[in-house]
Amino acid sequence: MTGTSETRRDGGRDRDTEGRARNARPRDGLGRPLPYGVDGVERQPEGVVRGPGETVAEAQALLDAGRPFHAHEVFEDAWKSGPRDERGLWRGLAQLAVGLTHAARGNATGGARLLRRGAGAVEEWTSGTGRPRPHDLDLTELSVWARELATVVERDGGRVDAAAASPRLRGRGA
């Protein structure tokens, strides 16, 4: 694990190389902590500055692989490092990825709530900017996808397959 400290067994907190608290426990593909010493999925590096195209491509690859928690981290990097006027867009996309994460974990209430919140955020962003396809993202289709998945998750109350349920960020033809 790059940038993390050794695992602490003295009751102290795991810290990264800069002294910030950071849980060093391994994680599964949906970002859930696993016991120390178990092999987990490699974490997404945090704080990476990417261009919008690279952000979308990397997030899409992670969504396609059934790793929406990791896609959320990519969107979060864009939200924190991108232009101020685009933060609402990236935050909304991160909420969609977290909503899918919760739905895949079987948390129907949290999944549906975050999917709807993310749908509202991307809808609000496009109506406020007059840019219906920023960075070639199909925000209309993403909003429809999120609201439909939220309804399915609530109705069925069960777990969804993250890879099978993942959206196409640039639309069905992309």
pLDDT at 145 (0 to 100): 97
pLDDT at 3 (0 to 100): 39
Q: Which domain holds residue 12?
A: 1-43
Residue 60 in domain: yes
CA distance 46 to 11: 25
pLDDT at 81 (0 to 100): 92
Residue 173 in domain: no
Number of continuous H segments (helices) and E segments (strands) in the chain? 6, 0
Facing residues of 92 across strands? none
| ∠ Cα 82 136 77 (to 5°) | 25
CA distance readout (Å), 94 to 40, 74, 114, 140: 22, 8, 9, 16
Q: Are residues 31 and 91 in the same domain?
A: no
Residues of the chain with confidence (pLDDT) below 70 = 1-23, 128-132, 173-174
Whichever domain contains 155, its CATH number is 1.10.3450
Q: Are residues 63 and 133 in the same domain?
A: yes
Q: Are residues 65 and 146 in the same domain?
A: yes
CB atoms within 10 A of CB 9: 7
Encode 87-112 in three state secondary structure. HHHHHHHHHHHHHHHHHHHCCHHHHH
The total of structural domains in the chain comes to 2
Tell me if 102 sits within 8 A of 114, measured CB to CB: yes
pLDDT at 5 (0 to 100): 38
Q: Are residues 100 and 58 in the same domain?
A: yes
